[in-house]
Amino acid sequence: GAGVSQTPSNKVTEKGKYVELRCDPISGHTALYWYRQSLGQGPEFLIYFQGTGAADDSGLPNDRFFAVRPEGSVSTLKIQRTERGDSAVYLCASRGQGSTEAFFGQGTRLTVV
Amino acid sequence: GDSVTQMEGPVTLSEEAFLTINCTYTATGYPSLFWYVQYPGEGLQLLLKATKADDKGSNKGFEATYRKETTSFHLEKGSVQVSDSAVYFCALILTGGYQKVTFGIGTKLQVIP
């Protein structure tokens, strides 16, 4: 596609439930990032994929968070046993090989009630 | 680790005023520097970038110069418009290898007529 696509755009879930957030990067982009943005804050790094593998997952806050990118394109961020503190906008970005510019999606607004 | 420090907002200016948003960085390597903008209700967009020392990035009347000696990348615009009201994020990425984008906390700009 023309840009980074994230679905759903909004997700409301109950505390304790499991959620999956999807990211479709720009076609051909090898690098893919997940960030979390809380109200009034800058994007906080979660995980970075280069191809299919997680090159850096140091930003995942705990083991309830997990992300995959099985074919090196689409990625899914998975959150187990959601907590109210997980409420935020989850951003995905992709970057082409040899480029320094990351392109961001519109984000998924997750609300845990 | 790598970090970006930018002035806290909100910044409120009258239309046609001069804008400066300060940004300084700390990096273990040699970074590329960026300003991203987030308009109300929209996703992050790249505003401008600079990839080496003394480079000047510019777009939509905004400018920022990569100053290695002061580790700074201040954003400036000579005459702001109401439509410039947004949140501005300074960011860096280290060149080479598997690297993440590191963001500042964001500076909210409000331009009043």
Q: Give which of B76, B42, B79 is closest to B58, Cα–Cα.
A: B76
Average pLDDT, chain A: 94
Q: Is the pLDDT of residue B96 over 80?
A: no
A66 token code pair:
């997990």
Cβ atoms of A18 and B82 within 8 Å: the answer is no
pLDDT of residue B94: 81
Q: What is the 3-state secondary structure (H, E, C) of A13-56?
A: ECCCCCEEEEEECCCCCCEEEEEEECCCCCCEEEEEEECCEEEE
Q: Is the pLDDT of residue B22 over 90?
A: yes
Q: Is the pLDDT of residue A5 over 60?
A: yes
Residue bearing tokens 């593998």: A53
Strand pairing partners for A45? Answer: A35
Interface membership of B95 toward A (CB under 8 Å): yes
Read off the pLDDT of residues A26-74 as tens digits, 9 standing for 90 and up.
Answer: 999 999 999 999 988 889 999 999 999 988 999 999 999 999 999 999 9
Q: Is the pLDDT of residue B97 over 70?
A: no
Selected residue with higher pLDDT from A99 and B11: B11
Q: Is the pLDDT of residue B69 over 70?
A: yes
Please state the rounded mean pLDDT for residues B39-45: 88
Selected residue with higher pLDDT from B8 and A105: A105
Please state, as a whole number, how many other Cβ atoms lie within 10 Å of the Cβ of residue A66. Answer: 15
Q: How many Å lie between the alpha carbon of B102 and the closest alpha carbon of chain A? A: 7
Residue from B7, B35, B101, B105 whose CB has the most chain A CBs within 10 Å, to mutate? B101
Distance CA B74, CA B50 (A): 12
- SS3 of residue B83 by DSSP: helix
Cα distances (Å, whole numbers) of residue A6 to A32, A106, B39: 12, 7, 18
Selected residue with higher pLDDT from A40 and B20: B20
Q: Compare all CA atoms of chain B with the CA of A53 and give the residue at the minimum distance.
A: B98
Q: Compare all CA atoms of chain A with the CA of B47 and give the residue at the minimum distance.
A: A101
Does A101 contact B106 at a Cβ distance shorter than 8 Å?
no
pLDDT of residue B66: 97
Interface membership of A96 toward B (CB under 8 Å): no
C-alpha dihedral (A12, A54, A75, B36), degrees to nearest 10:
70
Please state the rounded mean pLDDT for residues A10-22: 97
Does B43 contact A107 at a Cβ distance shorter than 8 Å?
yes
